[in-house]
């Protein structure tokens, strides 16, 4: 059976990269600027401040597809550190220690680091990214 959505896998990946990058950037903007939602901001010269910078800048780089592999690799590492520092001490399972978002971001960004920017990206526009449709190579 032919996978009809498989023909659009590069488009869905671009949407995933954009949405995940923007959501991640919003975590950073909350930490650094209290927006959206108001609330307390963190000291920029702290571990949480560094996390906010990585989230805001890295998230925007991922969303716009600018040096995505590097930004996603760093963001993946930040999420691994966040999980083991903040969530793992609360229990063994991510669903019980509220760490599932950190784990999901960690592995999502690790995948993006391996795959790269793809279409609809600054890297592709500048010719720095190989834009390939992997579904074309894996027809069943």
pLDDT tens, position by position, 70-92: 999 999 999 999 999 999 999 99
Does residue 128 lie in a domain region? no
2: confidence class by pLDDT, cuts 50, 70, 90: low
The pLDDT value given to residue 69: 97
What count of other Cβ atoms lies within 10 Å of the Cβ of residue 18? 16
Q: Taking the CA of residue 31 as centre, how many other CA atoms within 13 Å lie in the half-sphere pointing to its CB?
A: 22
pLDDT in tens, 5-49: 999 999 999 999 999 999 999 999 999 999 999 889 999 999 999
pLDDT at residue number 140: 32
pLDDT of 104 > 60? The answer is: yes
Q: Which two tokens stand for residue 49?
A: 């401040």
- Determine the Cα–Cα distance for residues 97 and 93; give it in Å rounded to an integer: 6
Give the number of domains in the chain.
1
Q: Please, which residues have CB within 8 angstroms of residue 1's CB and are 6 or more apart in sequence? A: none
Inside any domain, residue 134: no
Given this model, what pLDDT does residue 38 score?
A: 84
pLDDT for 137: 43
Q: Is residue 127 in a domain?
A: no
135 found inside a domain? no
Give the domain range for residue 38. 4-120
pLDDT of residue 3: 79
122-131: long-range contacts (C-beta < 8 A, 24 or more apart)? 122/64, 122/65, 122/66, 123/65, 123/66, 123/67, 123/68, 124/65, 129/65, 129/68, 131/10
**pLDDT band for position 130 (cuts 50, 70, 90):** low
Query: Structure tokens of 132?
Result: 């390939």
- Is residue 66 in a domain? yes
Q: Answer for the pair 3, 133: CB distance below 8 angstroms, yes or no.
A: no
> pLDDT band for position 129 (50/70/90)?
confident
């Amino acid at each position: 059976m032919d996978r009809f959505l498989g023909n659009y896998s590069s488009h869905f990946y671009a949407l995933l990269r954009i949405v995940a990058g923007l959501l991640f950037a919003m975590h950073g903007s909350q930490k650094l600027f209290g927006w959206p939602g108001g609330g307390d901001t963190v000291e920029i010269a702290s571990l949480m401040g560094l996390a906010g910078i990585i989230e805001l800048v890295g998230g925007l780089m991922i969303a716009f597809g600018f040096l995505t592999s590097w930004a996603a690799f760093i963001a993946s590492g930040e999420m691994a550190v966040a999980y083991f520092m903040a969530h793992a001490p609360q229990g063994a399972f991510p669903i019980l220690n509220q760490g599932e978002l950190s784990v999901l971001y960690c592995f999502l960004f690790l995948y993006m680091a391996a795959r790269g920017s793809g279409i609809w990206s600054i890297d592709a526009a500048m010719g720095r990214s190989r834009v390939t449709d992997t579904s074309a190579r894996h027809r069943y």
